[in-house]
Amino acid sequence: MSYRPNAKSIQKINDLEGIYDGMAHVFQDAQLTLSGHRKLVIIMKNIHKRAIELGFEESFAMKFAKFINFILPLKKGEQVGDRIIKFCSVFIASSYKDEEVAKKDTEQDNVDEDVDEDEDTPTGKFVDYILRHLLRGIQAKDKHVRYRVIQLLAYLVNNIGEIDEELFTALQWSLNRRLYDKEPNVRLQAIVAISRFQYLPEGGQKASESILLAMQNDDSAEVRRAALLNLTKNETTIPFLLERARDTNSINRRLVFSRISKELGDFRDLDLELREELLKSGLKDREQSVQSAAVKMFATTWFDVVQEDLLELIDSLNVVNTEGDISDVAIQIFYQTRQDFVNTKVNITKEMWKELSVEMAFFIRSFYDYCNENRLFELIDKFYPESIELSEILSKYLNLRNSFIKNSTGIIQEYEVLHAKLESLRHEEFELEQQLEGETESQPREKEIEKLLVSKRDEITKELLNFEEPRQEYVTYYEQLKDLEFIIKQLIMISKDYDFSDEIGRREMLRIIRSSLTNDELSDELIELSLKVLKKISINERDFSTMCTEIVTDIRDSYMDEVDDTFHSAISSLSDEEKDDDDEDDDDEEDEEDEEEGLDVEGRDESKADTHKAKKRKKEPKEPPSETLIQCLLITKHLLELTEESISNVSLSSLLDSLVRPSVLRNDNLYIRNLAMTCLGLYCLLDKQLAIQQLYLFGVAASRADEELRILSIKVIVDILSTHGISVLDVEGQVDSLSLAKLFYKVLRLYEMPKLQCVVAEGLCKLFLADILTDFGKTKKDSDDGEGNKADAEQEDQEKVLFETLILTYFHPLNANNHELRQILAFCIPVYSFSHTKHQDKVASISGDCFYRLFRENGEFEKYENMATPSTILQQLIHWCDPNNLVNLTQVEIKRSAAHFWQAMGLLQALEQDTPRNIKKTIISNLNKLFITEELGSVVLTGLKRAIEDTRLVFETSSHDPSFALDSLSDRSFEKFYQNIKEITERAMEMEKVKAEEDKENSILSNISTVPEEKQGSPEEESVDVKQGENEVEDKEVEKETAVKEKSADSETEDIEDSLQKIDELLDEEDNVDYDVSMEDV
């Protein structure tokens, strides 16, 4: 058939060759454009129908498969292949549709006759053949063939009807195998194909699990994106879909907000935690495109869902229980984005102020912040009351809170009694269980304990039933109180930035704040905000600190026994200060002893402690209840956070002596002790001398207390060093640098306290980055004997040891699951290294030793199986020390950096030590990655060349040792490194020689230009004198030049020898390092 087939010409076909020719014409036209595919599908269906009539059904399928084979080797992006695949999928889909229509017509015509549903249809047979043919190429070696096969299957599985069960199983298994194909394009098409099986009754869940696994773990962003877009949405998969808001690829993150969130429907159906996490991830994303998509989702999509009701939108955020500031961030972005709504529909009436709800209070406060930040003072004057009215509104809700608590006293007391009783019963149950486990001798006694245990459990069950109703009442009370305090919090936050230029309003607010702080037992959050308001309306810093001290004193005085005259308030005790100086000195010494005893120091003498406490009890005033102390300490804590006054302020020093120091000794209440330690730490930030005195106390707490107090103490120590520097150390009779370094080192190795490790690591990184620990531990050498020098050397190395410990902590296998610690170090170490050349040189100087300690033979890390590979760690170290990563440097400065030079020295030392053979091979294979240029100078490069030669000599002399026997590849790599350094050294020498000659010529020309002109004689005499003078000058210049060359050569040789001698000394010091010292012995 030489002409294009049509309906009439197809009916005239009588042989197989005509069928083939018609198919060829259709495929030829189908690869040209997509626009004619509909017509070509009709023609192909007619050819298929004619082939069936002539008995060529199998031949048609075979030829169709052969035509498909032509496009299988085409790579991705070839339009011909894509068009043919789309044509084939449309042809099969249309054929199935025609058969369904014909089947329905047949069923209507033959209602009474039985129709064999299992009979194979022509399209079914054809598709069965094509699928089996494609499955033969699904594991082809050619990646393009695998891609095209999977691509065609992805189109076909969406359109095929019923197929053989065996074929379906084989198809599913083959597609699942392709999810692990090495080519991302193949995996992507496999995702698309498998996604069609999610909606089948059988195998749908398994298909979803496969896609979910690929979405979470595939390395390719495109494959994860395909899984994200094709995974079905249900209660199980939605959390994993929203989890992609933290995907490493920005496009995938953006799709979560721009597309997935819309497909989920009403966002209020999502859990509160999912909504909060989704907003937090999107609005705080580092990519502007992702952030814009999240803003559009919140300000447009979600706002439309709630029918543009702003209060309903705020209610969906659950602002009371939302952690962090994400609600504030979201609503502020809404105001900025939807200014059309803000300018036309926002209105705050006076009636709204009378009965505030949680959502209304949040809206009023957040809108005030928006107006205040954008200087929209007209809106503030329009919607917000005068300061005196705001004070009255705040007073109203504070009084409402007090009344609510007073009326709920019975509920609170009943709950506390039942809760205490239930806890006591559970403690008794635990003790009985412990007795039962330890009882092994007497069987009757064991039965008796079991009987008591059953009885106790029955009693607990009964009490739980009785406890349920009071617990529900208490939960209701707590939720209502929480809402009420949230409203008060919003009002105080408004007051914090309010205009109190009206003196009457200022005085009224001052009275309300002082009264609430003194009498209302506010929560920690309300105390902090109230003190900020108090500071704003105070006259000055001193007035603010004085008022806070008076509030604390009033709280303590209100709970003191009137008969007890031993207590003196903080203010009144100041008048007797000069009179009791000697007594206070003695008391201070006793207080310091008590502070040390209060930290549970091991081995203390109990009897001595009891005697001392008995003596102190006679002097100390009666202590107020714990609730009172907590209130006082909370106010003191926030006062110290807000004030900039020094400790010389009488008000502040009085609180230190009368409240903070005694509270540190209250070991029976951990919360009070921690609060007091926090206050003491804040005091230390205000006064350097106090910090020097109390540093030992915090050090003891950091090494021997519980984890919470350890974390607090480490934070205080870091803050003290950040504020006062290392000058607080090495003071006579106080903490020295070596002791503090050992404390940091010890805490970094407390693997059972991962949070504490994170705090120490983050604190040290901040200190290193700020160069506060520069010269840490270095002191003047007062002793000339060997022991003194050794001790000084030990101290001088503390900065190096601490940073080396941080690097070892990062790679330590025991910290593999401490993701927070690894994230901190993964960020801080490169930031430190890339911030300055000095920082990078320090990292480079210890990197070789770190690598050696990680992989030395019989080292402390050898026993761990989950260690990172040596190549990975070494490449990480090389990356940290690469001068090309330094910021704010020119190319010339980068080339002059010696970081990789020092790293090469350290790695060469590791090669010469007792490292395994595979470690030596790893080092040698990475040496050529070091960035070393001729700009370092010939002296330094000559030293490196000699070090390489020394290392080669070690390998030659130790050839009998298996660990020093390298393969030919390593030998060639090491020789290549040596030749590279040799060439660089020669280029450096040539550069220096050229530069020296240029400098010499410039020097001669400058000397000639400064010679004074002599008097002129007769022409003849002048010519004779000139000739003689020229000869004399030439002779003198030759002699001078020779002398200069000899002198410069001698001096250059001496300089080179001196520099090489210094490098040899450094190498000798490296050789003398005691590598057998374990990390625990430092």
For residue range 957-986, list pLDDT tens digits in order. 888 888 888 888 999 999 999 999 999 999
Q: How far apart are CA 50 and CA 13, in angstroms?
A: 8
List the single range of 625-629, 640-644, 722-726, 844-848 with lowest mean pLDDT: 625-629
Q: How far apart are CA 159 and CA 138, in angstroms?
A: 19
| pLDDT band at residue 617 using 50, 70 and 90 as cut-offs | very low
Q: Is the dihedral of CA 303, 306, 312, 313 positive or negative?
A: negative
Q: How far apart are CA 439 and CA 428, in angstroms?
A: 16
Q: How far apart are CA 752 and CA 814, in angstroms?
A: 10
Q: Are 851 and 908 in contact (CB under 8 A)?
A: no
Q: How far apart are CA 824 and CA 616, in angstroms?
A: 46
Measuring CA to CA, how many Å separate 99 from each of 37, 49, 117, 121, 523? 20, 12, 12, 8, 74
What pLDDT, on the 0 to 100 scale, is given for residue 117? 53
Measuring CA to CA, how many Å separate 863 from each of 108, 262, 810, 919, 1074? 78, 52, 17, 16, 21
Q: Is the dihedral of CA 719, 723, 725, 731 positive or negative?
A: negative
| pLDDT band at residue 442 using 50, 70 and 90 as cut-offs | low
Whether pLDDT at 419 is above 60: yes
Here the tokens at position 905 are: 């020295």
The better pLDDT of the pair 523, 1048 is held by 523
What pLDDT, on the 0 to 100 scale, is given for residue 108? 67
What pLDDT, on the 0 to 100 scale, is given for residue 622? 62
pLDDT digits (tens, 9 = 90+) for 541-567: 899 999 999 999 999 887 664 435 444
**Cβ atoms within 10 A of the Cβ of 657, count?**
17
Phi, then psi, of 179 in degrees rounded to 5:
-65, -15
Rounded to an integer, what is the distance from CA 818 to the centroid of its chain? 12
**Rounded mean pLDDT of 151-173?**
85
**Rounded mean pLDDT of 440-456?**
69
What pLDDT, on the 0 to 100 scale, is given for residue 593? 43
Number of H helices, E strands in the chain: 50, 0
Dihedral (Cα; 560, 566, 569, 573), 10-degree rounding: 180
The better pLDDT of the pair 416, 490 is held by 490
> Which string of b and e fits 564-599 if b means at least 16 CB within 10 Å?
eeebebbbebbeeeeeeeeeeeebeeebeebbebbb
**Most confidently predicted of 256-265, 318-327, 1007-1016, 1020-1029:** 256-265
- Side chain identity at residue 564, one-letter code: D
**Rounded mean pLDDT of 80-103?**
89
**Cβ atoms within 10 A of the Cβ of 847, count?**
27
Q: How far apart are CA 525 and CA 515, in angstroms?
A: 17
In eight-state DSSP terms, residue 258 is I
Whether pLDDT at 105 is above 80: no
Here the tokens at position 401 are: 């809170």
Phi, then psi, of 676 in degrees rounded to 5:
-65, -40
Q: Are 317 and 330 in contact (CB under 8 A)?
A: yes
Residues with Cβ within 8 Å of 449's Cβ and at least 6 positions away in sequence, in order, are 432, 435, 436, 439
Phi, then psi, of 852 in degrees rounded to 5:
-65, -45
Q: How far apart are CA 978 and CA 768, in angstroms?
A: 35
The half-sphere exposure of 186 on its side-chain side, counting CA atoms within 13 A, is 24
Nearest alpha-carbon partner for 198 in 160, 234, 241, 247: 234
- Side chain identity at residue 963, one-letter code: S
Measuring CA to CA, how many Å separate 1050 from each of 884, 942, 946, 995? 36, 17, 21, 17
Nearest alpha-carbon partner for 702 in 672, 746, 664: 746
What pLDDT, on the 0 to 100 scale, is given for residue 722? 94
**Rounded mean pLDDT of 497-518?**
93
What pLDDT, on the 0 to 100 scale, is given for residue 1005? 59
Whether pLDDT at 572 is above 50: no
pLDDT digits (tens, 9 = 90+) for 286-329: 999 999 999 999 999 999 999 999 999 999 988 988 777 899 99
Sort residue 1018 into left (φ over 0), alpha (ψ -120 to 50) or beta: beta
The single residue listed with the structure tokens 């007090």 is 402
Residues with Cβ within 8 Å of 646's Cβ and at least 6 positions away in sequence, in order, are 652, 686, 687
The better pLDDT of the pair 254, 7 is held by 254
The single residue listed with the structure tokens 């036209």 is 29
Nearest alpha-carbon partner for 822 in 865, 758, 749: 758
The better pLDDT of the pair 1016, 120 is held by 120
| pLDDT band at residue 189 using 50, 70 and 90 as cut-offs | very high
pLDDT digits (tens, 9 = 90+) for 862-918: 888 888 999 999 999 999 999 999 999 999 999 999 999 999 999 999 999 888 889
Q: Are 459 and 425 in contact (CB under 8 A)?
A: yes
The rounded percent of the chain whose pLDDT value lies above 90 is 54
**Rounded mean pLDDT of 392-407?**
94
By CB atoms closer than 10 A (0-12, 13-18, 19+), residue 78 is: middle
In eight-state DSSP terms, residue 119 is S
List the single range of 318-332, 352-366, 910-924, 934-948 with lowest mean pLDDT: 318-332
What pLDDT, on the 0 to 100 scale, is given for residue 786? 46
Helix (H) or strand (E) run with residue 900 in it: helix 899-912
- Tell me the pLDDT of the chain averaged across its residues: 83
Whether pLDDT at 739 is above 80: yes
pLDDT digits (tens, 9 = 90+) for 1017-1044: 444 444 434 344 444 444 444 444 444 4
